[in-house]
Structure 1
Amino acid sequence: MFRRFAPLLALLLVLTGCATRPSEDSAAPPDTEGTFPVTVAAPGAPPVTLDRQPQRIVSLSPSATETLFALGAGSQVVAVDSASDYPAQAPHTQLSGLSPDPEAIAAYHPDLVVVYADTFGLADALAKIGTKTLVMPDAKTLDDAYAQFAALGKATGHQAEGESLARQTRDDIDKVVAGTRKPARPLSYYWELDPTYYSATSATFIGQVLTRFGLTDIADGTDPKANGGYPQLSAERILQANPDLVFLADSKCCGQSAQTVAARPGWNTLTAVQRQQVIALDDDIASRWSPRIVELVRTVADAVAKAGA
């Protein structure tokens, strides 16, 4: 959801599917770990106390949707927002995570709603029908993402699975980074969020991920935190910086590729273009803090290894 924090630039998150919705009056299975009631909170979000294991979860956050299914709580999810397009079996709906409608959400009779932000007083509105709202805000660091995996596991009665998922994801990323040969000199990169040259600095979640490879972000300027970490660069600035790597997080949304980048005026002179180091990413994986972040890390590792060869 990084693009959402760019000035006036909405980062639309994503996932889909159509799983069978449990009937409202179906018998709920016993708590899998017998740990309820529990109090759960993600970093930067208010705590929520759940009296019993939720059986009808509505997820309005693509990152949370991916995580819920990854930790084994998918059968408890009865609806996901229109941006949630992964995994395929997620019960896709037209619900909005950006402007949630309490009445539309209530139609699914949820006992827990997971959101990335409590917008428009959603939590208070849902509390009137006895539904708890759990906020899973945009992760600022990898540790925040791991903490969310564990928190979602605890909230859904899959505490051991959530902790295991967090631990495994951390270990996988650490191994990929440690196993990637670093080049003799630091490589620079440009991270593209859209064709108007919005980018992400090293102060963002994604920037911190790439910093682990010793990469230098050309968007940092004098203050990586300026513009919320999502500045709009100019073509001239990018050409002058001449990055070694170009990562395109706008291949699906905006049809960008190594070919379209090379066709931009003057861009064929870039080192990244000449050395075939323009990497088209899966926008969704590149904009979420779900367990699939490991896939992104592997892609970056491959690019770093190739550039340093």
Structure 2
Amino acid sequence: MRPVRKALAGALLGTLALSACGQPGTTAAPTPAASSATSSATQADAAFPVTVEAANGPVTIAKRPERIVSLSATHTETLFAIGAGPQVIAVDDQSNFPPEAPRTELSGFKPNVEAIVAHKPDLVVLSDDMEQVITELGKLNVPVLWEPSAKTFDEAYDEIGDLGAATGNAEKAEEVVASMRATLDKLAADAPKDKRLTYYHELDQTPYGATSTTFIGQVYGLFGLTNIADKAPDAAGGYPKLSAEFIAQADPDLIFLADVKCCGQNRDALAKRPGWANLSAIKNDQVIELDDDIASRWGPRVADLAQTVGDAVTKAASR
């Protein structure tokens, strides 16, 4: 999903803040900051029209969007991280980060076209496959970028680049990607790798896990951990439903919980599950409570998730 541009994007769009504070009858010269902002805005505008290769095919955006609607919590985070926050006028009900994101009752799972159109968007971003929504908005000449859940780090980086190109913030998007790469590389290089350490990542209390082939599994893979879910009977789909007995028998060294905020899970709650009280991770205090949101999104905060995992691995390896 690489962007194809008619003109290269320039510097990050700054805030246009022209000063007009001269004496009556005179014209005040623009300040250096204002001149820089004007130049940045001009360069960003010069990048358009731009065509981005998204999952729904090539999407052409005629001019720099000023009324973006995001129906994806991950993409909302990305838009603000790359400097497109001021261009975002509405986000879905699950987009709770950053706090200043203009959260609405729009649904990213069951979107209502009329409700979306009411915000008069000039760009809509979504992550779920919504062919009807894309078709209906297309009839109204509203560009839609479908950027689905990333399966690899490279796909995540590519989607950030797509959003940067589509919003006129290509340079900042490149900076965000470079920072993510550098952080992940350093964490992986610095962390002690002990392939004898096993782990279980819990998505919910069902319990569902995630194998090494998933995006979340690749985060753990940076640290050389062995995923117990890889040996589950139905692991081929990437998210097998595990039995409590399977997990107890595997006895993972580390347990990572991604159902903390949603479901109140923690070490004490796990200890009450039948047959789990004597699990190594519970006895050795190696149950790590993750932020549900960070653990389920593939945007810039993946680096924060990796930091949490890296800290846990370092602690476990030092025992």
Q: Name the TM tier (shorter chain).
A: 0.7 to 0.9
Q: How is 1:74-85 mapped onto 2 (pairs within 5 angstroms)?
A: 74-85=85-96
* Corresponding residue number in structure 1 for 2:9: none
Task: Indicate the SS of the match to 1:41.
Answer: strand
Task: Indicate the SS of the match to 2:208.
Answer: coil
Aligned-CA RMSD value: 1.5
**Distance (whole Å) between structure 2 residues aligned to residue 125 and residue 248 of structure 1:** 39
The amino acid of 1:66's aligned partner reads E
Residue 296 of structure 1 pairs with residue 300 of structure 2: no
The amino acid of 2:173's aligned partner reads G
Say how many residue pairs are matched: 278
**Distance (whole Å) between structure 1 residues aligned to residue 181 and residue 135 of structure 2:** 35
Cα distance change, pair 277–229 in 1 and its aligned pair in 2 (3 A): same
* Corresponding residue number in structure 2 for 1:181: 192
* % identical aligned pairs: 53
Cα distance change, pair 276–222 in 1 and its aligned pair in 2 (3 A): closer
**Distance (whole Å) between structure 2 residues aligned to residue 175 and residue 34 of structure 1:** 36
Task: Indicate the SS of the match to 2:144.
Answer: strand
Cα distance, 1:120 vs structure 2? 4.7
* Corresponding residue number in structure 1 for 2:212: 202
Cα distance change, pair 225–45 in 1 and its aligned pair in 2 (3 A): farther
Give a deviation string over 1:122-150, Cα, whole Å, max 9, x none. 11101122201001100000111111111
* Corresponding residue number in structure 1 for 2:47: 35
Give a deviation string over 1:188-207, Cα, whole Å, max 9, x none. 11110111111111111001
Structure whose CA Rg is larger: 2
Cα distance change, pair 173–224 in 1 and its aligned pair in 2 (3 A): farther
Alpha-carbon contact 2:193-2:225 (below 8 Å) kept = no
Cα distance, 1:296 vs structure 2? 0.5
Unaligned runs of 5+ in 2: 1-40
The list of structure 1 runs, each at least 4 consecutive aligned residues, that deviate by more than 6 angstroms after superposition, is none
Cα distance, 1:51 vs structure 2? 1.1
The amino acid of 1:92's aligned partner reads R
Cα distance, 1:177 vs structure 2? 1.1
Give a deviation string over 1:135-178, Cα, whole Å, max 9, x none. 11000001111111111101000011111111111111111111
2:282 to 269, 273, 276: 273
**Distance (whole Å) between structure 2 residues aligned to residue 75 and residue 201 of structure 1:** 38
**Distance (whole Å) between structure 1 residues aligned to residue 221 and residue 45 of structure 2:** 38
* Corresponding residue number in structure 2 for 1:263: 272
Cα distance change, pair 274–219 in 1 and its aligned pair in 2 (3 A): same
Which structure has the higher relative contact order (CA within 8 Å, separation 6+)?
1
**Distance (whole Å) between structure 1 residues aligned to residue 70 and residue 52 of structure 2:** 16
1:282 to 270, 287, 291: 291
Tell which deviates more after alignment, 213-222 or 106-115: 213-222
Task: Indicate the SS of the match to 1:193.
Answer: strand
